[in-house]
Structure 1
Amino acid sequence: MSLLEFQNVFKIYGDLHALDDVSFTVDRGEWISIMGPSGSGKSTMMNMIGCMDKPTKGHILLDGVDVAKEPAKKLTDIRRDKIGLIFQQFHLVNYLTALENVMLAQYYHSIPDEQEAMEALERVGLAARAKHLPSQLSGGEQQRVCVARALINHPEIILADEPTGNLDDANEEIVVDLFRKLHEEGTTLIVVTHDPEVGDVAQRQIVLRNGRIARQTVNQNFTGHIRFTE
């Protein structure tokens, strides 16, 4: 059974069809990218995958549960338990250390565990920076804290919104390499991006235009490694 399934999903605002009869599936352990120009429906789709919005019509099955039918409180619980979110703008608390920012995610899920949070930072190569504030970290390091924070509650899906949008090429490559490692460990990755260098490294690419799926492309040469061209 698929981990995520959109079944004839519409999101309608007046005369605007932000999503227009969208159907697709994501298998457990798959790495997909969602791409498309501004206004294509990427953000709307991301909000629905992340249980932050509901469709006007259609069904969204997440691990067998139709989240389109669930009340807001239940959606909050599902998002907390099932989805690890990574944002372009990091959203770290400025007066908390890297370690404390990761532990904050635990606080909303269960009980903060410093050792477990440190292990999450070790996974992203930041154990030595655990006591540093966000202002003392580079942009790439801050994004890696966000990855650790997303991982801490062992989510079913890592959902990343433009995760490399504020990074230079070197840090972009580091973050994509982290995604590769997570994929090798069996993590399901959904990356929303406008950057073809990032989108093209996924196993499968879903391209949106005007609220519809324009095409789905399977990466026949999938390695998970980013390739920059001169």
Structure 2
Amino acid sequence: MSLLELRGVSKIYGTVKALQDIDLTVERGEWLAIMGPSGSGKTTLMNIIGCMDKATHGSVILDGVDISTLNSRELTAIRRDKIGLVFQQFHLIPYLTALENVMVAQYYHSLPDEKEAMAALERVGLKERARHLPSQLSGGEQQRVCIARALINYPMLILADEPTGNLDEANEHIVLKLFQELHREGHTIIMVTHDPEVADLAGRCLILEHGRVAGFRKGDVLDRAG
């Protein structure tokens, strides 16, 4: 059984059709990249999959549940329990340490566990920086805190929206290596990127154009939609 299935998903804002009739299946353990020009619907699609927005039409089946029928409270619970989010903008709480930022995610899920949060930071190579504030961390270190925060509640799906967009080459390499390790361990990853080299790390790349699926690319081969 696939982890995620979108059937005829559309999103309309007034007269703007942000997404039109999107059909998509993501298998458990798959790494899917999403590419497309600005305004193609990438962020809208991620927001719907991540339970931060609802489709105007169509269904979104996540782990056997049609999340398109859920109310706001139910969507929050799904997002909390099943999805790990990593953004281009780090969204760390500035007055909390790296460790406390990770523990906040635990608080909304169950109970904060400092030992477990520290282990998550150690996993991303930041054990020695756990007591530092975001302002005392580099961009790459802040992004790794975000990854630790996304992983702390053992999500079944990791959504990453341009996770290397604000990083220099050295930190991009560190962050992408982490995602490769997570994929090898069986995590399901959906990642929006503008970088073809980053997309090449994924098993498959969805190309969006004007809110529609233009095709899928694997390596140098583009299979355009009907």
Give TM-score, length-normalised by structure 2.
0.95
- Residue 128 of structure 1 corresponds to 128
Give TM-score, length-normalised by structure 1.
0.94
Runs of 4+ with >4 A deviation: none
- Residue 76 of structure 2 corresponds to 76
SS at match of 2:73: helix
RMSD, aligned CA:
1.2
CA distance in 2, matches of 1:219, 1:65: 32
Task: Please give the per-residue CA displacement for 1:94-113, whole angstroms capped at 9, x wherever unaligned.
Answer: 11111111001101110000
Unaligned runs of 5+ in 2: 222-226
Q: How many residues align?
A: 221
CA distance in 2, matches of 1:38, 1:220: 22
Q: CA deviation at 1:15?
A: 2.5
Identity of aligned residues (%): 68
Q: CA deviation at 1:218?
A: 2.9
- Residue 9 of structure 2 corresponds to 9
SS at match of 1:174: helix
- Residue 224 of structure 1 corresponds to none
CA distance in 2, matches of 1:192, 1:34: 5
SS at match of 1:18: strand
- 2:175 maps to amino acid: V
Q: CA deviation at 1:219?
A: 4.2
CA distance in 2, matches of 1:135, 1:56: 39
SS at match of 1:178: helix
1:98 maps onto 2:75 in alignment = no
Task: Please give the per-residue CA displacement for 1:123-152, whole angstroms capped at 9, x wherever unaligned.
Answer: 111111111111111100000000000000
SS at match of 1:208: strand
Q: CA deviation at 1:200?
A: 2.0
- 1:136 maps to amino acid: Q
- Residue 227 of structure 1 corresponds to none
CA distance in 2, matches of 1:77, 1:56: 21
- Residue 162 of structure 1 corresponds to 162
CA distance in 1, matches of 2:198, 2:179: 10
CA distance in 1, matches of 2:136, 2:107: 24
- Residue 224 of structure 2 corresponds to none
SS at match of 1:164: coil
Following superposition of structure 1 onto structure 2, how do residues 129-208 of structure 1 map, counting pairs within 5 Å? 129-208=129-208
SS at match of 1:85: strand
Q: CA deviation at 1:198?
A: 1.4
Cα pair distance change 1:220/1:209, threshold 3 Å: closer
- Residue 211 of structure 1 corresponds to 211
